[in-house]
Amino acid sequence: MERNGGQLLVESLVALGARKAFGVPGESYLAVLDALHDTQGQLDFVMCRNEGGAGFMAAAYGKLTGNPGICMVTRGPGVTNASIGVHTAMQDSAPMILFVGQVGTDMKGREAFQEIDYRAVYGTMAKWAVEIDRVERVPEILARAWKTATTGRPGPVVVALPEDMLTSMSDVAPLRGPAVVAEPAPSAAAMAEVRNILSQAKRPLILYGGCNWSAEASRQLQAFAEASDIPVVSVFRYIDQFDNHSPTFCGEAGVGMVASVKKLMGDADVILAINNRFGENSTDGYTLLSVPMPQQRLIHVHASDLEIGKVYQPELGIQAGPNQFAAALAAMGPIKGDWAAWRAGGRDAYEAGFDLGDLPSPVDMGKVTAHLSRILPPDVIITNGAGNFTVWPNKFFKFGPEARLLAPQAGAMGYGLPAAVSAKVAFPQKTVVCFAGDGDFQMNCQELATALQAGAQPIILVLNNGIYGTIRAHQERNYPARVSGTTMSANPDFSALARAYGFHAERIETTDGFAAAFERALASKTGALLDLVIAPEAVTPRQTLTQMREAALAAAQNSDRAEKDTL
């Protein structure tokens, strides 16, 4: 049976297990869109309003499900718009495949209309960038792309599809299914050395992160940590992979790292790092562990040998996936030591971090987040983009074993809404709540139309303070009283905008009004947007903009006096 390249690609994707593809249509891959006409209910095309939103949706889908998030866009402007999704998936270690149309092979190298050299542009942004130039190789390249995206350190793959390749005919058979690649497991000798090193510790610490944890592996890691009484810390924005209610959970090593977590990491004498890459945010700018030889004894476990020793030289490096290693920990059994007070101190500091006074804001997000923690279902999916507002879902919400967080390690504004739509596409029966700043929301607010058309409408909380809060805070600390380029004085009526897209929407002007409004949002069958009025002063939970400014001005005056005294 002969098929064109578009049909061969789509039939192979169905066989691999792809069920959703996010994208914006383009003339460069019409043959693929035509093939998708016949796979509705098997492989559905979720039509987005901007390729950046589509890229975020695919990256979030991969992070949430463990299968590659599929994104399809056209060449040139389409793929450059979608590149933010590729970058996000790479930093998140999330599986994703971006398919992009390309000029015909007879036009290559002439700077034809919208032509891009994808290998050159995305070679360092993705795990692999490839262009298919023979229709017969579609199954081969696709099988490799799927395997590359999902194994080792998961990540994004970019596959360019020349137009003539998609319309060419071939009798090559489509793929029958994905290759089963066993997750690497630790050796008995490696586990014996893990026990040996941990047994000698006085202040051990478990640091974990990354995608592709199974629910069973999370339970096994928790059981080991609790039986051994070892404190556990998450890397940036992976707090959901471990039960935050466990007495061993002590917080997140990420942006805005609290003093107690810095102390745990700095004072630990043994760190068991599982499935994490050592990024800037999880090491406080590479200061908590010295590069390349940490003072702490380091055991680094990762499925990719390329991550072991990339920044820090471990005493013991183990190439193993998180699920196989967690199973090996369970089989090994607990390790006892005289560190109960060490673990308890870390947990007490974590719990104390939830104590918060009244905030100087019409809507007090401390009280709002506490209310949400009490009433949201155990399997809630929470999403957010980037900005100071993310402190609320990331630092003031405890994730149980069924709850999930979709948040970008890349710090990409505009991720939260597309991620929430993607989550509702994947799990329409679950409650999905997106936290978005007013600036963050406007990066991809047009994807409300995607949500409406797909019937995937989450609950969106817009924290509306009229400023780019993170940058304003940095301004006041570094250039006090010199505000420049961070005030949004012309925001739209977010409630009216959401209603135009078919959402239930309300503007909430007091803390007391939130609980009832959120009940109405939960009851809405069309999703909901709540526009929360937040004072700019309440940009952080424990320091106002005025306090930042005054502290910076005082420090500058003291510095000037000291300089004059030396003269």
Pick the closest to residue 266 from 207, 313, 334, 337 (CA basis): 207
Residue type, position 412, single letter: A
Q: How confident is the model at residue 460 (pLDDT cuts 50, 70, 90)?
A: very high
Q: Round to whole Å and give the CA distance between 16 and 131.
A: 20
Contact 212, 323 (CB under 8 A): yes
Contact 414, 444 (CB under 8 A): yes
Helix then strand count (H, E) for the chain reads: 21, 20
- pLDDT, tens digit, for every residue of 174-231? 999 998 999 999 999 999 999 999 999 999 999 999 988 999 999 999 999 999 999 9
Residue type, position 557, single letter: Q
Q: How crowded is residue 296: how many other Cβ atoms within 10 Å of its Cβ?
A: 23
- pLDDT, tens digit, for every residue of 145-173? 999 999 999 999 999 999 999 999 999 99
Tell me what percent of the residues of the chain surpass a pLDDT of 70: 99
Q: Which CATH number fits domain 188-352: 3.20.20.70, 3.40.50.300, 3.90.1570.10, 3.40.50.1220?
A: 3.40.50.1220
CATH architecture of 3-170: 3-Layer(aba) Sandwich (3.40)
- pLDDT, tens digit, for every residue of 368-418? 999 999 999 999 999 999 999 999 999 999 999 999 999 999 989 999 999
**CATH class of the region 365-552:** alpha beta
Q: Where are the domains of the chain?
A: 3-170, 188-352, 365-552
Q: Round to whole Å and give the CA distance between 56 and 419.
A: 6
The predicted structure's pLDDT at residue 360: 96
Enter the tokens of residue 494: 């977010």
* CA-angle at 446, arms to 444 and 447, nearest 5°: 75
**β-strand partners of 406:** 383
The predicted structure's pLDDT at residue 115: 72
Q: Round to whole Å and give the CA distance between 444 and 414.
A: 5
- pLDDT, tens digit, for every residue of 476-502? 999 999 999 999 989 999 999 999 999
Give mean pLDDT, residues 356-366: 97
Pick the closest to residue 371 from 516, 241, 250 (CA basis): 516
Question: Can 3-170 and 365-552 be said to share one CATH topology?
Answer: yes
Give mean pLDDT, residues 261-289: 96
The predicted structure's pLDDT at residue 329: 98
Q: How confident is the model at residue 81 (pLDDT cuts 50, 70, 90)?
A: very high
Pick the closest to residue 295 from 315, 273, 316, 318 (CA basis): 315
Long-range contacts of 185-192 (CB under 8 A, 24+ apart): 185/320, 185/321, 185/324, 185/325, 185/327, 185/328, 186/301, 186/318, 186/320, 186/324, 186/325, 186/328, 190/316, 190/318, 190/320, 191/328, 191/329, 191/331, 191/332
Q: How far is CA 112 from CA 72, 132, 272, in A?
A: 20, 18, 52
